[in-house]
Amino acid sequence: MTGVELDPEAIVEAGERASRAGHRDRCTLVVGDGAIIPLAPHDIVILDRAICCYGDADRLVDRSVAAAGLVYAFSVPESRGLRGVRNRLAYGLEGIWDRLRRNPRAWLHDVNRIHRRLSMAGFTLDASGREGRWYLAVYRRQPD
């Protein structure tokens, strides 16, 4: 298993969790930008609350999809329907505050755009759901 994360503190926490679960020796944890650094191929790629913390979602999705073999899963704030309206308002206000502090931290990306990018890469939606403001999706690709 490989974990890539921009935040060094999150990497430390992931290492601690892996140790508690007895799997630290099976993990490679890297501080880095998944949209830039080389990503090794993996059967399963999961971006849990990661895309929304990255300004260039297209680049991050494209680079991480290229590393995904059979399964690609992600969670992002819902951008569609009533949840999308609520999230646009909340993220709009939060974005103003972040820009004033010159510290952008979260973006509301178009779920349909992410879906199209995954479809173009040969993935089909296998399961999806919503929890609070979050949209969760699992995509599968048929093996070659």
Domain ranges of the chain: 1-32, 42-140
Alpha helices by DSSP H, listed for 1-143, are: 8-20, 57-67, 81-100, 111-120
- Integer angstrom CA distances of residue 73 from 47, 82, 102, 117, 130: 6, 23, 31, 13, 13
- The residue whose two tokens read 């890539």 is 4
- pLDDT at position 99 is 61
Handedness of CA 93, 96, 102, 106 (dihedral sign): positive
Confidence category of residue 49, pLDDT binned at 50, 70, 90: confident
Measured between alpha carbons, how far is 39 from 46 in angstroms, rounded to an integer? 13
Confidence category of residue 108, pLDDT binned at 50, 70, 90: confident
pTM score, whole prediction? 0.84
The architecture CATH gives domain 42-140 = 3-Layer(aba) Sandwich (3.40)
* pLDDT tens, residue by residue, 21-43: 999 999 999 999 999 999 999 99
Q: What tokens does 18 get?
A: 């892996």
Other C-beta atoms closer than 10 Å to the C-beta of 79 total 20
Q: How many residues appear in the chain?
A: 144
